[in-house]
């Protein structure tokens, strides 16, 4: 479905998608930037895969807050949604870490560049996970309309 078609069918959903893309774009830049900074500061002393942990904790927390309050505007159990965000992002992090390992150790790519490539793949997976799991509509009506 094209964004233009979505706009004409349901403006609220269209703007939700736009907000998701903006927040996701910002969070992607933020997460990649935090990783690059950590790698620049600690890369000689800490394994590049270990640096993914603090970078992802900061990025996931920031993303959750923005998705909950700016994108999906849910009123439900914040802790449950936060946990679900970690599940989605945890799966994405494992996918990203595995791909990063393959690209760096077997492909010979620079870790920061390899992380950027894997980020593109995990963005798609994360969107689907959040849309249909983290912030899905529940029958109890805990999502804002």
Give tens-digit pLDDT for 21-57. Answer: 899 889 889 999 999 999 999 999 999 999 989 998 8
94 or 9: which leads in pLDDT:
94
Residue-wise pLDDT for 86-124, tens only, equals: 899 889 878 988 999 999 999 999 998 998 889 888 877
Percent of the residues in the chain that have a pLDDT greater than 90, as a whole number: 37
Checking if the pLDDT of 145 tops 60, the result is no
**Greatest distance between any 2 Cα atoms in the chain:** 53
Q: Strand, helix or coil at 48? A: coil
Answering whether pTM is above 0.85, one says no
Q: Are 108 and 119 in contact (CB under 8 A)?
A: no
81: CB partners within 8 A, 6+ apart = 64, 68, 74, 134, 135
């Amino acid at each position: 479905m094209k964004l233009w078609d979505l706009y004409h069918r349901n403006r609220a959903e269209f703007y939700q998608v736009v907000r998701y893309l903006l927040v996701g774009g910002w969070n992607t830049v933020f997460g990649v930037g935090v990783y690059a900074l950590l790698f620049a500061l600690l890369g000689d002393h800490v394994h590049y895969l270990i640096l993914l942990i603090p970078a992802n904790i900061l990025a996931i927390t920031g993303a959750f807050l923005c998705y909950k309050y700016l994108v999906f505007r849910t009123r439900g159990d914040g802790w449950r949604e936060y946990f679900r965000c970690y599940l989605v992002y945890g799966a994405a992090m494992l996918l990203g870490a595995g791909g990063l390992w393959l690209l760096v150790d077997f492909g010979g790519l620079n870790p920061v560049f390899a992380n950027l490539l894997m980020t593109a793949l995990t963005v798609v997976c994360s969107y689907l996970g959040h849309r249909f799991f983290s912030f899905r509509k529940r029958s109890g009506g805990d999502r804002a309309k």
